[in-house]
């Protein structure tokens, strides 16, 4: 009987703790909110210092939210901000009483003498707001976790997405007015003009960058080809260009090849040493000197490789968010789309691969928009290409494998085509020019631009694409350093999980 009573008492104490926990006052800084608002109404400099830090929701008191919203509207319209203009705007909107009335506005201006330390005060207000958001998100997670009908993977994804929003400060807005959007657009146009038309991330391929103005933030780019055309070689060449030449952070999710195999391809491309030599380790002294000199730039490059097999879209989102927030990654590359899984319990047992691919492509587009980075996904093409006659092997949009949703969701759909692979010696154009050592990057769909077939140089023994005008090997040989360096391979950012291996992907030695 005593044990039973003790158990009941213990449960009662636990319920008291929970109720007290829920009864706590949320984090707030009312005095600082009053000081910041008062300073903004008496000193223009105070407005300039905090207008980009705070938003109306950051204030705890509703009346403070209304006052700040009025100040922000006056600022957006380039109108003077003081006690009278704020009071007048609130009166016109019928919110003066909700904001505490004229007497409360006067009291706020009397609380401070200047805008000294206003930025520091504003950041404390923002910290309190973030604390309140974290409490709110945690409460929602707890409530959802007790719901047996909630899918645990959906819950994890939702929780991480909300925390990511708080971390980045990109809290969702219901809408934006045309005025603010026009200002953003004009600012972006001006920035593009300063960058000579390059509004996105340069790929390192001159004609491709001229067509696309660089890979654009929030775009989903599909690069499709039959096996052997060089999909992996193309994105590896591009990733190397972006990371080494432009110092852009690049994340590669390789579902087919190991991270060591991928980085070895990059080493071959960067050093100009044939992949056969690297595969066998048959290097002479001058090869080692070249290798050790050229590999340093690759070792310091902001490239991050994840070779998790059968990666689900849920895992990809989680990993991508961390790479963007922690390492400043600017572009995400997936090799390749058909090896991904939708993940979660909702897709199990459906047996419809086309629906699963549609789910993956939609989520990749959503990920690009959420992180505001371009997402490039490689894709296989159907065997219909192989059944066509010898002179018509060039891929078409209808050849996209397993789902028409890929074409629908993507901002850019492109193909890689090498007629040499099919034994052809000339391009199928009017000039009938030789096609040996060349490939074509075909932009078949471009939501925000033109279409084109861009010819590139392909160096098979280096698994490398480059501009057609670029000479092979000269760049590397002319920059070789005669000073012998350390023969080790520095490994600072590129992580590998498997031992050095061989892969037959795309018919290359690696």
Residue 314: closest CA among 280, 343, 347, 285: 343
pLDDT of 407 above 90: no
User: What is the Cα–Cα distance from 81 to 432, expressed in whole angstroms?
Assistant: 70
Provide the percentage of residues in the chain whose pLDDT is more than 70.
Answer: 79
* Domain map (residue ranges) of the chain: 22-169, 198-342+353-467
> Which residues face 376 on adjacent strands?
221, 333
Q: What is the pLDDT of residues 449-499, one digit of tens each?
A: 888 888 888 888 888 888 887 443 333 333 333 333 333 333 334 443 333
Structure tokens at 457: 């140089």
Q: For position 21, what pLDDT does the model report?
A: 52
What residues are labeled active site?
A: 256
Radius of gyration of the chain (CA): 29
Q: Give the CATH H-level superfamily of domain 198-342+353-467.
A: P-loop containing nucleotide triphosphate hydrolases (3.40.50.300)
**509 pLDDT tier (thresholds 50, 70, 90):** very low
What CATH code is assigned to 22-169? 1.10.860.10
- One-character DSSP codes across 135-151: HHHHHHHHHHHH-TTS-
User: What is the Cα–Cα distance from 402 to 380, expressed in whole angstroms?
Assistant: 9
pLDDT of 415 above 60: yes
- Whether residue 336 has a cis bond before it, omega within 30° of 0: yes
- Rounded to 5°, the CA angle 433-436-440 comes to 75
Compute CA distances 103 → 95, 100, 109, 327, whole Å: 14, 7, 10, 50
User: What is the Cα–Cα distance from 443 to 215, expressed in whole angstroms?
Assistant: 13
Residues 252/235, Cβ–Cβ less than 8 Å = yes
* Of 263 and 17, the one with more pLDDT: 263
């Amino acid at each position: 009987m005593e044990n039973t009573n003790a158990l009941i008492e213990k449960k009662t104490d636990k319920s008291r703790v929970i109720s007290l926990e829920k009864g706590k006052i949320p984090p707030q800084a009312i005095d600082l909110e009053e000081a910041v608002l008062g300073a903004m109404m008496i000193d223009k400099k105070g407005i300039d210092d905090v207008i980009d830090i705070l938003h109306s929701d950051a204030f705890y008191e509703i009346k403070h939210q209304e006052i700040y919203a009025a100040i922000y509207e006056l600022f957006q319209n380039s109108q003077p901000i003081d006690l009278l203009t704020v009071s007048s705007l609130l009166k016109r909107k019928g919110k003066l009483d909700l904001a505490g009335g004229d007497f409360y506005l006067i009291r706020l201006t009397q609380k401070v003498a200047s805008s000294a330390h206003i930025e520091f005060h504003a950041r404390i207000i923002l910290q309190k707001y973030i604390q309140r958001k974290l409490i709110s998100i945690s409460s929602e997670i707890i409530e959802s976790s007790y719901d047996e009908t909630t899918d645990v993977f959906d819950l994890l994804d939702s929780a991480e997405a909300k925390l990511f929003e708080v971390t980045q400060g990109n809290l969702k807005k219901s809408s934006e007015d045309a005025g603010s959007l026009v200002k953003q657009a004009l600012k972006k146009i001006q920035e593009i003009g300063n960058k000579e038309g390059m509004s996105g991330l340069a790929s390192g391929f001159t004609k491709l960058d001229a067509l696309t103005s660089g890979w654009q933030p929030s775009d989903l780019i599909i690069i499709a080809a039959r096996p052997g055309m060089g999909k992996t070689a193309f994105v590896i060449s591009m990733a190397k260009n972006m990371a080494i030449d432009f110092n852009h952070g690049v994340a590669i999710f390789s579902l087919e090849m190991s991270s060591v195999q991928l980085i070895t391809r990059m080493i071959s491309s960067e050093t100009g040493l044939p992949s056969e030599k690297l595969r066998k380790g048959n290097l002479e002294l001058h090869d080692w000197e070249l290798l050790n000199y050229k590999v340093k730039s690759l070792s310091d490059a902001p490239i991050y490789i994840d070779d998790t097999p059968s990666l689900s879209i849920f895992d990809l989102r989680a990993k991508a968010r961390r790479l963007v927030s922690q390492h400043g990654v600017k572009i995400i590359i997936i090799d390749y789309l058909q090896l991904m899984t939708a993940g979660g319990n909702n897709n199990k047992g459906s047996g419809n691969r086309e629906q699963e691919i549609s789910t993956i492509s939609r989520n990749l587009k959503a990920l690009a928009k959420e992180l505001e980075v371009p997402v490039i996904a490689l894709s296989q093409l159907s065997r219909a290409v192989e059944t066509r006659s010898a002179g018509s092997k060039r891929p078409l949009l209808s050849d996209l494998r397993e789902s028409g949703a890929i074409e629908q969701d993507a901002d850019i759909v492109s193909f890689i085509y090498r007629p040499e692979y099919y034994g052809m010696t000339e391009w199928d154009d009017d000039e009938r020019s030789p096609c040996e050592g060349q490939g074509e990057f075909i932009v078949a769909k471009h939501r925000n631009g033109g279409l084109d077939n861009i010819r590139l140089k392909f160096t098979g023994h280096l698994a490398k694409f480059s501009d057609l005008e670029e000479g092979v090997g000269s760049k590397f040989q002319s920059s070789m350093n005669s000073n012998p360096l350390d023969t080790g391979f520095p490994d600072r950012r590129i992580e590998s999980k498997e031992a050095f291996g061989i892969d037959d992907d795309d018919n290359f030695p690696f």
